[in-house]
Structure 1
Amino acid sequence: MLCTNKTISKSFFGSSRGGEHFIVIEPDADLDLAGQIEDLERRYAAARRALGLAPGSAVFRRVFLSDAMTQAKRVSESGLAMDEDGSPVALSLIQQPPLSQAKIALLAYHVDDPRGLRKKCLTPRHVLIERESLVHLWTTGLCCGAEDAPIAVARQTRNVFDSLIAVVAGLGGTLRDNCVRTWIYVKDVDIFYNDMVVSRRDLFTEQDLTAKTHFIASTGIEGACAHRYDIVVVDAYSILGLAPGQISYLNDFDYLCPTQDYNVTFERGTRIAYADRAHLMISGTASIDGAGRVVHPGDVLRQLDRALENVAALLRAGNATLNALMHLIVYLRDPADYWRIRTALAERLPDVPAVFVQGRVCRPDWLVEVEGIAIVGQEAPALPAF
């Protein structure tokens, strides 16, 4: 683990090739945007050196922006947009103001493979990583690109998912069988979230994603891209070549109700098993009980405790604990809660890299939401290698 004042990382090493590394970096908030980009790049380069990461090992980077319309272009033209060796990186640029008071913050994911990663830019929004028998598709920034006129939220939702479905189909897959994680960002979530939910539910039914089959692990949260009239933006992660038994779904009904009980369609968590490890994708999780009710309204610290209890329950369902978390993203409705939440989380999970951003949750009574990825080792030689 690497930990400095502005940089924290966590790594996992399985018995097969392929160390995985998650890095969170905050630049110096006293600098202007150009200075913060430069400072972030410098700190990031130092972190890669400290971790011994080879050029070409970067898979995914999410840059959180305080103002996407004025910042996204400059970040996309920086060194963050590609790897050190010039190979592609899945770059997600999302307006969710960092609560450290910096203009930008970074979450980066690297896979260090002695043989190098086989990466391909399929389109500007889709990067392929080929490993062993599997193809990992990282999708970032799917939106309508609405600059000149508004488009209905239902149509935007349909358009972005249709785009994802077409790309996955072109690789021989389907949304139902191959997409394992989505992040859905909704501008003005208090107003437009329900329109997205209804449109997604209708589309999922068409794709045979139902309560009788399964849904997709997901976070639906406030966020925005750089286009003036875009309301819905989607990032996604899909895996082609999955074997039977690799995917399972996480829940604990003593703690959390099925999502369809309150008319939303996502999995609480998804477990992806490999020969030597398992990835546990934890969806956006808030202070909710087994009946779907908000727990501890008005008390952000107790809501954090309950959200983490819920995450722990999901992880137990996948034979993991909170210590297996590789990173967290913490979404706060009210920036004034930042320091109390940051201090509480540092006491509870001091070794987990965390990004803290402003992001309203889908119900106004939820003051905090968390999501993350956990990795645990296992021995299942019949499954594909990571």
Structure 2
Amino acid sequence: MNSNISHKTFSYNGAEAATALCGDQMHCIITPSAGLKFKDQVAAACEAAGHLAEYFQMVPIFKRYFLSDIANQAALLPQEEQCAVSVIQQPALCGSKVVVWIVMERDADFTLQADGVWADSKGRIIQGDSAVSGSDSAEETRVYLNRFSEALKVRGGNLADHCLRTWFMVHDVDRNYAGVVRGRNEVFAAEGLKEHFIASTGIGGSPAGSLVAFNAVADLSVKPEQVTFIKGATHLNPTIEYGVAFERATAVDYPDFRKVYVSGTASIDNKGQVVAVGDIERQTERMIENIEVLLREAECELTDVMHLLVYLRDIADYEAVDAIFEYRLPGVPRVLLLAPVCRPQWLVETECIAIRRKNEAR
């Protein structure tokens, strides 16, 4: 394993926390005991998060709650948070009613601005959940992106140069994803995103009160020469060839480390075709191979991965897929979620973030 990343699993009262530490950054997946009631699972997760923050001497900068029943559970979550928050119905296939993904940093100073936007003194902006109204998924997507674009512009930035990562969680993705694609393409065209796009995940998930949930990460301090758009051309084709606008992965160089945002990645080839139709094990292996290709192009490895979000269409595939990840990426914090991929023939999709310290570069 990469000696630059330390993986540890902590057991607390009613919850287990898998962590990955790299310098001043820590990612964790907190999984409460499945046998507890929902309110007790939330309490256990929050208690575990507090212990981790104290142990690592860090503060959360982003949280995502994966819920099994958002209509009945969202109101029972903490109502005041000290960081950007995302809440989505994507049931964890381990059986817990809630699982939490948290990113923590040492000495972070994010503060809430407006509409779910959090900003820090370094020029970084994280878009948490925000309310949206629209007649369909395309309009909601346009509203989200235009609003985030405006948040960047008033601070001297823009989508094309400074937005590094987006997430679109889409209710009834088989029906509504086309609208997300249309809305995103329209905004990107208006914003001048022609030479490159933004690393992204577009996946099934039910928000509270809308068709689409949106989160994003931007950094106003980043210069174009710090950013590399990763293609993986031997294994994947440009997404625009099948009508969607996102980068396969984006690598960002900072003085001390490189961070790689790997978009939602499935079992695809460089012609844009699904590999291993109907075979969950082979699709999972090809998907991991694709991720490995992207990371190597960014001069990173699977051992640099800080966490994994794994999306499945079929709950029955959980054990087979989980076993493959346990073998290929042991110790890396992960959660497997019931969240249909945007193309029905894709049975599984995974996203991740990798970090490599500069003194560890290949």
- Aligned pair in 2 of structure 1 residues 8, 215: CA closer, same or farther (>3 Å)? same
Q: Is residue 263 of structure 1 aligned with residue 243 of structure 2?
A: yes
Which residue pairs with 1:71 in the alignment? 73
TM (normalized to structure 2)? 0.93
Q: Is residue 20 of structure 1 aligned with residue 25 of structure 2?
A: yes
**Which residues in structure 2 correspond to 1:199-238 (within 5 Å)?**
199-210=183-194, 213-227=195-209, 230-238=210-218
Q: Secondary structure at the match of 2:129?
A: strand
CA contact (8 A) 2:8 2:331 kept: no
Aligned AA (1:101): G
CA contact (8 A) 1:143 1:232 kept: no
Of the candidates 57, 60, 64, which is equivalent to residue 58 of structure 1? 60
CA contact (8 A) 1:187 1:224 kept: yes
**Which residues in structure 2 correspond to 1:213-362 (within 5 Å)?**
213-227=195-209, 230-362=210-342
Of the candidates 20, 25, 31, which is equivalent to residue 10 of structure 1? 20
**Which residues in structure 2 correspond to 1:84-95 (within 5 Å)?**
88-95=82-89
**Cα distance in 2 for residues equivalent to 1:252 and 1:151:** 37
- How far the C-alpha of 1:379 sits from its partner, in A, is 5.8
Q: Secondary structure at the match of 2:8?
A: coil
Q: Secondary structure at the match of 2:219?
A: strand
Which residue pairs with 2:34 in the alignment? 29
Which residue pairs with 1:136 in the alignment? 124
Q: Secondary structure at the match of 2:32?
A: coil
Q: Deviations over 1:303-346 (max 9, x none)?
A: 11100100000001110011110111000100111112112111
Q: Is residue 45 of structure 1 aligned with residue 26 of structure 2?
A: no
Percent identity, aligned pairs only, is: 33
**Which residues in structure 2 correspond to 1:153-192 (within 5 Å)?**
153-192=137-176
**Cα distance in 2 for residues equivalent to 1:244 and 1:294:** 33
**Cα distance in 2 for residues equivalent to 1:30 and 1:263:** 44
CA contact (8 A) 1:127 1:138 kept: yes
Q: Deviations over 1:228-287 (max 9, x none)?
A: xx1111100011122241111001211000001111100000001011100000000000
Structure 2: stretches of 5+ with no match in the other structure: 1-6
Aligned AA (1:202): E
Select between 231-240 and 371-380 the one with higher mean Cα deviation: 371-380
- How far the C-alpha of 1:120 sits from its partner, in A, is 1.4
Q: Secondary structure at the match of 2:127?
A: strand
Q: Secondary structure at the match of 2:46?
A: helix
- How far the C-alpha of 1:42 sits from its partner, in A, is 2.3
CA contact (8 A) 1:143 1:234 kept: no
**Cα distance in 1 for residues equivalent to 2:302 and 2:217:** 22
CA contact (8 A) 2:310 2:348 kept: yes
CA contact (8 A) 2:237 2:269 kept: yes
**Cα distance in 2 for residues equivalent to 1:151 and 1:260:** 26
- How far the C-alpha of 1:170 sits from its partner, in A, is 1.4
Q: Secondary structure at the match of 1:215?
A: coil
CA contact (8 A) 1:218 1:283 kept: yes
TM (normalized to structure 1)? 0.87
**Cα distance in 1 for residues equivalent to 2:9 and 2:136:** 44
- Aligned pair in 2 of structure 1 residues 58, 307: CA closer, same or farther (>3 Å)? same
- How far the C-alpha of 1:73 sits from its partner, in A, is 2.0
- How far the C-alpha of 1:105 sits from its partner, in A, is 0.3
**Cα distance in 2 for residues equivalent to 1:253 and 1:180:** 20
Select between 156-165 and 361-370 the one with higher mean Cα deviation: 156-165
Aligned AA (2:9): C
Aligned AA (1:214): H
Which residue pairs with 2:98 in the alignment? 104
Q: Secondary structure at the match of 2:262?
A: strand
Aligned AA (2:256): D
After superposition, the CA RMSD in angstroms is 1.6
Q: Deviations over 1:104-132 (max 9, x none)?
A: 101111111xxx322211125011122xx
Which residue pairs with 1:16 in the alignment? none
Select between 38-47 and 335-344 the one with higher mean Cα deviation: 38-47
- How far the C-alpha of 1:44 sits from its partner, in A, is 2.4
**Cα distance in 2 for residues equivalent to 1:273 and 1:324:** 15
Aligned AA (2:206): A
CA contact (8 A) 1:275 1:379 kept: no
**Cα distance in 1 for residues equivalent to 2:260 and 2:358:** 13
Structure 1: stretches of 5+ with no match in the other structure: 14-18, 83-87, 381-386
Q: Secondary structure at the match of 1:219?
A: strand
